[in-house]
Each structure stands twice: as C-alpha cells, then as structure tokens.
C-alpha cells in the first residue's frame, strides 16, 4: 500500500467510495431486467441519487460498531447465567411476557431479516440497497441476541422450547405471522412503507419500549441489556423509515395516493397487532410501567399526530380510522387478556385473574371502562375459579379474515356489541373485525381469500384431527399442564416457591 492511498479519507469521500461508488451503470442488461419488481406497484422514482442516507455509515464501520456491541452484550448474558439471574425477576408471572416475546416477536425479527434481504435486491438505487442490507443484518442480529437472551430462562421456565415451530402453527401466533407475511409478499415499496415506516417509525415505541421497560421494572437483566444493544440499530431503522417515506413522496406526485392507501392499511394492521402488547402491559407485568392507554396517547396520538402534521405538506392525511384507535385504547387490552384467559388451555404461557390490587390499578387507569365492563367479568370468573370451576372456553372463536384476531373487540360506538363486518366475494362470505380490516380485503381480495385461519384449519382436519388436546399437544407442541393453563397452582408457581425457599 503506498502512502497516497493510505491517507485518511474524510467522512464524505469515504462514504461515497464505500457505498455509492460500489454501484455501476449496467451496459448490456436493461435496468428493468435487473430490478424487475421496481415498477409494478406504480411507484415512480425519477432520480435515485436523491436518496439521502441519514447515517452515512459504511460497511466496514458498521461491522466495527456491531462487534463492539456484541462483546458487551454477551459479557452481561454470561454474568446473568452465572449469578442465577432468573431468580431476580419480580414475580414468576413476569416470565409469561418473555414467553410471549420469544414466540411472537423474535420470529418477526427473523422475517424482517429475510424481508430486507429480499427488497434490498430490488431497488435501482444503491443508497437504498445498502440501507436495506444493513438493516437486514441488524434484524438477524436481533433474532440471535433475543434467542440468546431468553435461552437462559428457557432452562427454568416453560413455553419457550419450540418457539419457531409454534410461530408457524399456534392460533394466536398466526396474528403476527400473517401480519408480516402480508408485508413480505407485497412489492418492495409497500414492504418499506409497512415495516420501515408504519412499524419501525410510527409504532416501534409501542412495541419495544413496553417490553424493555417492562423488563427493567421486573428485574429481567437479559432483556434490558438486549434492548440497549438494539437501541442504536432501532434509531437507525426509524430514521430510515422516515427518509424512505419522504423520498417516495418527493419523487412523484402520483406516489401520494398509493402511499396513503398503504399507510391506512399498515397503521390499522399494526394497531390490531399491538393488542397483545396492550394486554402484556396492563395484565402480564407484575410491576407496571404505564397503562396501554397512556402509551397510546403518548406515542401514537401525540408523537404520531405531530408526524402526520409534518407529512401534510406532501398531501398525506392521518390514517383512516385513527379515531377508532383512540376509543379502542380503553378497551383493547382488557378484551385481549379476556380472550387469552378463556383460551388459556391453548396458550404457551399461563394466564390468571388480576389480583385485587391490580384491579384497583386498572380501575384508576381506565375510569370509564374497567369497573363498568371488565371488573365484573373478571370477578365472576374469579368466583368460578374459587369454586374449582376455572373457566376455559371449549368452543372455537370466529376470526377476522385479515388480522386473524378473534372477533372479541367491540364497536367503537357501542362497547357491549361485538364489532363485525362481512362481505361476499365471488359467492364466498368473508368476516372481519372492523371497517379497517374489511377495507384491506376489498382492496386486494385475491390475496386475502387464502388466509390460513387457524380455526378453519382445525375444522378442516389439517392440524392433527378433531381432538383439541392433540391439536394443542402434538400439533402446537404446547405441553399440557406444563406450559399452559392457570398460573395459580401451576408447576411454574410451585417450582418458583421451592427455589425461593432454597435460597
């Protein structure tokens, strides 16, 4: 190496040489043959060079930063295992939030890794390709570090042993799975609008902060540390999400209505998906961080409201049905926990009635809804349980064709009436939980007629037969009496007491 080339480049030149200059103009293949998915969604890109990478991070630096983060992270994981860190959690019920995370969220990280690897190949602009490449690798790292973070708990608690298998099969995990597969089977620009913008930019604070702060409040050092390690990646992903949406909107005015339709769809889908986070915050965390309604106000109504103001100059309006989410924030966590409680024989975690103190907290946080509607339901079921008649719903629920959530959410203007919509498409009837989900179907019926609805699959005989015990045990691999059912009196509770006495 001679003296001239080893001279240090300034940041700007370095970035140019290590990213933009890695691309070339093809001479003997046509652009549309190399990037065959770039046009079909109708998005018009006039000039890819307008893409601004807000980080100017080059691949060599990226490896250096990430390696450093990994070293610190694994040092802490080691310390947690050596010091029996599982005994520091606030209450064994807390681990059920971890089980939900590893089965429902970690597989999404893996799908994000695959998704960015795919779409990164599809863009004509090198800036976008490199950004997707880095995010793809980040998401694979998140998958791995989450698995490592939780593998320690897997040695002591149930429900985590078969998480990828469960993700592909278990009824409630079809909600996150179908959400992500919807994005992954869309075109590359819709994928970015769905995942980078709607999910990472607008909604990520409502997914990661609740889990990470929940971990911090409940003594789960591994998850907290993982969260810190992922934080700078997530900051990059969020910034990228905003950049992407502005870039698409600035490129051509014809892009505006297409993007608007995607925003309407993906914010509604994201909102429905986050129902499980709401229930986790309000019901599964022994030490509460804040209520779901407070989180929704802070991160969606305030932060999201400001964001959509900013996008107004591009001709973008707030997402359709946003007002329904504001009403729903006072109901959705209660309704969701009520679903899981009564189907608690088919969950890979324990469920329970909130304690009297927890119910008082819920009354205080939900003055308009909890005492009127939800406390009486939980008190009735607590009475039944005390008589040895713990309620399990042995029928199967009707599901929404789009979000795949049981139709357990009430009408925005009538909170004692289940919200239900239907439509007939080519002689076949389809059912939905809401106007938002029905709209999504109406926009692309040929896509959603094939939804793999867990209840219908069971009834078609595709999940190991008609015996629900076999479906749960053999097909889902939820170990009866170990992973599922009521927390009170569970093996998990019993073991915890023994371990605590032994200390």
Partner 1 sequence: MMSVNANYPNYQGPVRDRVENFHGSQLVYVLWERHLLFCAPLTFLADPEMSFVDFLSEILRPALAPHPESEQLRFDEAKWRLDGEDFQPDLEKSLIDNGIDHKSQLRLITPWLSDLADAAI
What is the binding site for partner 1 (CB under 8 A)?
A: 36-37, 40-42, 187, 335, 338-339, 342, 372-377, 380, 391, 393-399, 406-408, 410, 415-418, 420, 422-423, 425-426, 428-431, 442-453, 455-456, 459-461
142 binds, among Zn ion, partner 1, Fe ion, none (CB under 5 to 8 A by kind): Fe ion
437 binds, among Fe ion, partner 1, Zn ion, none (CB under 5 to 8 A by kind): Zn ion
| Closer CB to partner 1, 69 or 425, in the complex | 425
444 binds, among Fe ion, partner 1, Zn ion, none (CB under 5 to 8 A by kind): partner 1
**Calpha distance 192→208 (Å, rounded):** 19
**Calpha distance 476→497 (Å, rounded):** 29
Please tell me whether residue 437 binds Zn ion under the rule CB under 5 A. yes
Taking CB under 5 A as the criterion, which residues in 416-435 touch Zn ion?
433
| Closer CB to Fe ion, 142 or 375, in the complex | 142
Please tell me whether residue 400 binds Zn ion under the rule CB under 5 A. yes
Residues 356/360/365/368 CA torsion (nearest 10 deg): 100
Tally the residues of the chain. 503
**Calpha distance 129→20 (Å, rounded):** 10
| Closer CB to Zn ion, 235 or 449, in the complex | 449
130 binds, among Fe ion, partner 1, Zn ion, none (CB under 5 to 8 A by kind): none
Q: Please say whether the beta carbons of 165 and 477 come within 8 A.
A: yes
The H or E element spanning position 178 is helix 174-184
**Calpha distance 401→418 (Å, rounded):** 16
Please tell me whether residue 236 binds Fe ion under the rule CB under 5 A. no
Q: Is 26 helix (H, G, I), strand (E, B) or coil?
A: coil
Would you say the C-alpha torsion 229, 232, 236, 241 has a positive or negative sign? positive
Ranges assigned E (strand) in 165-288: none
| Closer CB to partner 1, 302 or 444, in the complex | 444
| Closer CB to Fe ion, 102 or 471, in the complex | 102
**Calpha distance 63→149 (Å, rounded):** 21
Binding-site member from 237, 269, 272, 329 for Fe ion (CB under 5 A): 237
Task: Give the shortest CB-429-to-partner 1 separation in angstroms.
Answer: 4
Phi, psi of 464, rounded to the nearest 5 degrees: 90, 20
Task: Give the shortest CB-247-to-Fe ion separation in angstroms.
Answer: 18
Please tell me whether residue 109 binds Fe ion under the rule CB under 5 A. yes
Could you tell me the two tokens for 428?
Answer: 């076949």
| Closer CB to Zn ion, 455 or 468, in the complex | 455
**Calpha distance 59→63 (Å, rounded):** 6
* Residue given tokens 């679903």 in the structure block: 339
| Closer CB to partner 1, 98 or 373, in the complex | 373
Tell me the number of residues near Zn ion by CB under 5 A: 5
Binding site for Fe ion (CB under 5 A): 109, 139, 142, 237
Binding site for Zn ion (CB under 5 A): 400, 402-403, 433, 437
């Amino acid at each position: 190496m001679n003296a001239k080339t080893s001279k240090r480049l300034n940041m700007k030149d370095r970035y140019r040489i290590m990213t933009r200059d890695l691309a070339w103009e093809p001479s003997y293949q046509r652009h549309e043959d190399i990037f065959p998915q770039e046009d079909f969604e109708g998005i018009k890109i006039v000039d890819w060079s307008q893409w601004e990478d807000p980080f100017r991070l080059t691949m060599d630096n990226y490896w250096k930063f990430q390696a450093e983060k990994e070293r610190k992270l694994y040092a802490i994981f080691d310390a947690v295992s050596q010091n029996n860190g599982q005994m520091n959690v606030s209450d064994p019920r807390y681990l059920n939030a971890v089980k939900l995370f590893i089965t429902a969220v970690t597989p999404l990280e893996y799908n994000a890794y695959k998704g960015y690897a795919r779409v990164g190949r599809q863009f004509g602009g090198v800036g976008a390709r490199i950004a997707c490449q880095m995010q793809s690798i980040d998401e694979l790292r998140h998958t791995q570090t989450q698995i490592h973070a939780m593998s320690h708990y897997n040695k002591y608690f149930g429900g985590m042993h078969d998480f990828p298998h469960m993700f592909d099969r278990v009824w409630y995990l079809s909600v996150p799975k179908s959400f992500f597969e919807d994005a992954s089977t869309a075109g590359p620009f819709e994928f970015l609008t769905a995942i980078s913008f709607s999910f990472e930019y607008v909604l990520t604070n409502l997914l990661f902060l609740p889990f990470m702060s929940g971990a911090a409040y409940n003594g789960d050092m591994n998850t907290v540390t993982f969260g810190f390690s992922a934080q700078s990646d997530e900051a990059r992903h969020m910034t990228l999400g905003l950049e992407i949406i502005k870039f698409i909107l600035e490129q051509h005015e014809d892009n505006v209505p297409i993007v608007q339709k995607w925003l309407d769809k993906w914010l509604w889908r994201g909102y429905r998906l986050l129902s499980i986070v709401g229930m986790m915050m309000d019901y599964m965390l022994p030490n509460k961080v804040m209520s779901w309604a407070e989180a929704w106000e802070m991160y969606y109504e305030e932060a999201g409201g400001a964001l959509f103001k900013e996008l107004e100059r591009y001709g973008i309006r707030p997402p359709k049905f946003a007002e329904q989410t504001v009403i729903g924030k006072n109901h959705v966590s209660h309704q969701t926990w009520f679903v899981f409680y009564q189907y608690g024989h088919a969950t890979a975690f324990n469920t329970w009635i909130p304690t009297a103190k927890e119910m008082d907290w819920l009354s205080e946080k939900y003055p308009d809804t909890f005492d009127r509607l939800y406390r009486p339901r939980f008190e009735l079921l607590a009475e039944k349980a005390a008589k040895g008649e713990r309620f399990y719903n042995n029928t199967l629920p009707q599901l929404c064709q789009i979000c795949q959530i049981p139709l357990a959410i009430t009408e925005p203007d009538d909170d004692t009436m289940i919200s239900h919509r239907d439509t007939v498409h080519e002689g076949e009837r389809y059912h939905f939980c809401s106007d938002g989900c029905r709209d999504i179907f109406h926009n692309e019926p040929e896509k959603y007629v094939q939804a793999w609805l867990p209840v219908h699959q069971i009834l078609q005989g595709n999940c190991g037969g008609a015996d629900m015990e076999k479906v749960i045990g053999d097909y889902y691999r939820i170990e009866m009496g170990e992973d599922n059912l009521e927390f009170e009196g569970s093996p998990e509770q019993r073991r915890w007491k023994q371990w605590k006495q032994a200390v």
